[in-house]
Structures are given as C-alpha cells and as structure tokens.
C-alpha cells in the first residue's frame, strides 16, 4: 500500500468513528460526486470547495410597484437593489450583467429624478426574469407578466400606455424568435 493511500484509509476510519453510519455513507457519496464533477469540469479542489462553501443566495424579488414611477425600468431596479436590498453598485452591476459605470450613472440619475422611497406593493417579480441582456428590462418584464396578464392590465400595473406595453411585448417576441433561429 502506498503512503498516500495509507493516510487516506486512516482519515476515513477516523471519520467513520466520528459520524453515524448514515452520515458517513452520505460523505462517501459526496466525495464520489465531487470527483465526478472535478473530472468533468476540470476545476481544482480549491475552486470546487469555494463554490460549495458559498452561501446560497435567496432569489431576489422586485415588487411590481417600483416600475410604476417616472423612472426607467433600469433606474427602478438599480434604485431598489441599492436602497432596499443594500447591494453595492458593483454587485448590482454583476447581477444585472452591466458595466459598473452604467450602474453608477443610473443610480445617480434615479436619485435625482425620484428622491423619495420607491413604492413597495403588488406582485413580486423574480430578478432573474428581467436580467436577460438580449431584451430590455421593460421587454423582459412585459414578457414575464404577459403569461398571466393582458396588455391592458400590465399597462395599469406599470403606469404606462397600453401601446408601450404592446410594443415592448412585440419586440421581445421578435428578439426571442431571432435567438431561437440562431440556436437552430
């Protein structure tokens, strides 16, 4: 038996003594899965451990009411994330897949245009539904809401003209159709 294998066997027996049989079996299974992922992705042990150790972030949800102000949809999202979720501008930029300077400018514009607190009521929209860079935030938002609302209802919820909602929805459909054609 090689020196490394002997050390591994000693560590496994110590681990087995400390854990219940159920937990030891689970750890053994996780080790096997860890090795499969390592082989498949080529990630180092350190990278995988860091990824596993990071806390799972709860999905951020945006109240639909933030979009009913005179702010642009991007300004509304940035202002909400900064002031209500206490996210740094850099983290907002990463989350929305935008440049830091764009987010900084957007946030400053939103404070100037709408210095009050954003309204907080109504349906909650998952942030991951509107951060698709191929669509504008309004197009993504309207596409998401169109699954359960009419254009007229969405216009009322967002305090926008029905024609604006219809146009955003039509553009989103066209862009999605182009994306699917490229993939095919």
**pLDDT per residue over 6-55, tens digit each?**
555 666 666 667 778 888 888 888 888 888 888 877 777 777 776 676 55
| Final residue in a domain of this structure, among 53, 69, 85 | 53
Domain span at 121: 61-183
Regarding whether 85 and 43 lie in a shared domain, the answer is no
Longest dimension (CA), the chain: 76
Map residue 46 onto helix, strand or coil: helix
Q: How far is CA 75 from CA 15, 23, 137, in A?
A: 52, 48, 10
What is the total count of domains within the chain?
Answer: 2
Regarding whether 65 and 48 lie in a shared domain, the answer is no
Q: Please list, in sequence order, all residues whose beta carbon lies within 8 angstroms of the beta carbon of residue 161, skipping any fewer than 6 positions away.
A: 155
**pLDDT per residue over 51-71, tens digit each?**
676 555 568 899 999 999 999
Alpha-carbon distance of 81 to 75, in angstroms, equals 10
Regarding whether 86 and 173 lie in a shared domain, the answer is yes
pTM for the whole structure? 0.66
Closest CA to 58 of 145, 127, 119, 133: 127
Regarding whether 160 and 69 lie in a shared domain, the answer is yes
């Amino acid at each position: 038996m090689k020196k490394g294998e002997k050390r591994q066997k000693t560590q496994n027996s110590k681990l087995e003594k400390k854990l219940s049989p159920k937990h030891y079996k689970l750890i053994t299974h996780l080790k096997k899965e860890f090795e499969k992922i390592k082989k498949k992705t080529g990630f180092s042990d350190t990278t995988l451990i860091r990824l596993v150790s990071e806390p799972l972030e709860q999905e951020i949800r945006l109240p639909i009411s933030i979009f009913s102000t005179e702010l642009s949809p991007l300004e509304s999202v940035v202002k909400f994330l900064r002031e209500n979720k206490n996210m740094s501008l850099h983290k907002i930029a990463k989350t929305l897949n935008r440049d830091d300077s764009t987010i900084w400018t957007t946030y400053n514009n939103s404070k100037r245009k709408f210095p009050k607190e954003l309204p907080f009521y109504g349906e909650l929209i998952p942030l991951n539904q509107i951060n698709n860079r191929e669509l504008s935030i309004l197009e993504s938002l309207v596409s998401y809401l169109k699954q359960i609302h009419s254009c007229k209802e969405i216009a009322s919820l967002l305090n926008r003209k029905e024609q604006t909602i219809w146009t955003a929805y039509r553009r989103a459909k066209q862009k999605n159709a182009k994306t699917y054609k490229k993939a095919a």
